[in-house]
Amino acid sequence: MKPVIGIVTGQMGGEVPRFAVPCAYVRAVERAGGLALQLPVSAATDGEVLQQWLSLCGGFLLAGGGDVAPAYYGQSPIPQIGPTSRLRDNVELSLCRAAQRAGKPVLGICRGIQVLNVAFGGTLWQDIPVQCRGAICHAQSPENRGELFHSIGIAPGSVLAGVMGSTRQECNSFHHQAVRDVASGFLAVAHAPDGVIEAVEDTRGLMLGVQWHAEELEAQFPSHAALFQWLVEKAKSEAM
């Protein structure tokens, strides 16, 4: 049996509203040997629904998306804040805490690293260009999602360094927010050349968040594919 990896979907408007997650996340999980299960974001943040998700899934993937509402980390929004969804925030923040209690692995990507950090008491930079003096560009052209954009330095001895196989990597970049104050029980384990945090992991080795879109790189670069393999293997081992 393949380990089931739950991916919380976003909610899209339009003439026909729908729940959706980009195909690249599903394909990355499948290529890593997992079975991707899309979890529709809903108002059902009660314990019963979360317990059903925890029973169905061996691990969880938090995908990219809009900004986390600043109220969740004790701040008022600045003018540069992007679209937010309190519904999705509530669901994913609750899921992170429930997964931790259940000992389920979580991989957070882009928005996902930010959700992980906020879920356990951390804060965010609401807008890097405005708030981080001397920052490099963190928003490459959206047409080049599969191209490497800037380097990252990874902490020696970290889970991330072990997973990716080195302390120096290249990544893509499509974000205007980032982890600011790291949550209790987590460590900042990767940084961009300007010092902006690019990855965090919890001290138990079950939760890993990266700021770049590894799902767009994993088909070409084994070190990025290894992130999804880590999630699937952790989901498999935790189920034994």
Output the pLDDT for position 46. 67
Mean pLDDT of each 10-residue bin along the chain, 240 residues long: 95 85 97 97 74 96 97 98 94 95 97 98 98 96 94 98 98 97 98 98 97 98 98 86
Amino acid 48: pLDDT: 86
Catalytic annotation present for 92: no
Catalytic residue among 138, 175, 213, 224: 213
In angstroms, the CA 8 to CA 53 distance is 10
The structure tokens listed for 36 are: 């991707």
- Nearest-angstrom CA–CA distance, 145 and 147: 6
For the question of residue 218 being annotated catalytic, the response is: no
Task: Report the alpha-carbon distance of residue 195 to residue 83 in Å, rounded.
Answer: 26
Predicted confidence at residue 7, as pLDDT, reads 97
Alpha helix ranges (H) inside the chain:
23-31, 47-56, 86-102, 111-119, 128-131, 159-164, 222-239
Residue-by-residue DSSP string for 95-137: HHHHHHHHT--EEEETHHHHHHHHHTT--EES-HHHHSTTPPP
Output the pLDDT for position 123: 98
The CA distance from 45 to 118, in Å, is 17
- Of 92, 198, 201, 215, the active-site residue reads 215
Range of the domain at 64: 4-239
Q: Which of 110, 171, 216, 224 is catalytic?
A: 110
Of the candidates 88, 78, 141, 80, which has an alpha carbon nearest to the alpha carbon of residue 119?
A: 88
pLDDT confidence of residue 240: 61
Q: Structure pTM? A: 0.96
**Total domains, the chain:** 1
Residue 82, both tokens: 């992007």
Backbone φ and ψ for 137, nearest 5 degrees, come out as -70, 130
- DSSP-assigned letter for residue 73: G
180, 7, 209: which is closest to 107 by C-alpha?
209
CATH number of the domain to which 23 belongs: 3.40.50.880
Phi, psi angle pair for 201, to nearest 5°: -145, 150
178-179 vs 59-62, strand pairing mode:
unpaired
137 is catalytic: no
Beta-bridge partners for 108: 62, 209
Spell out a b/e string for 198-233, using b for 16 or more CB atoms within 10 Å of the CB, else e: bbbbbeeebbbbbbbbbbbbbeebebbbbbbbbbbb
CB 118 within 8 A of CB 108: no
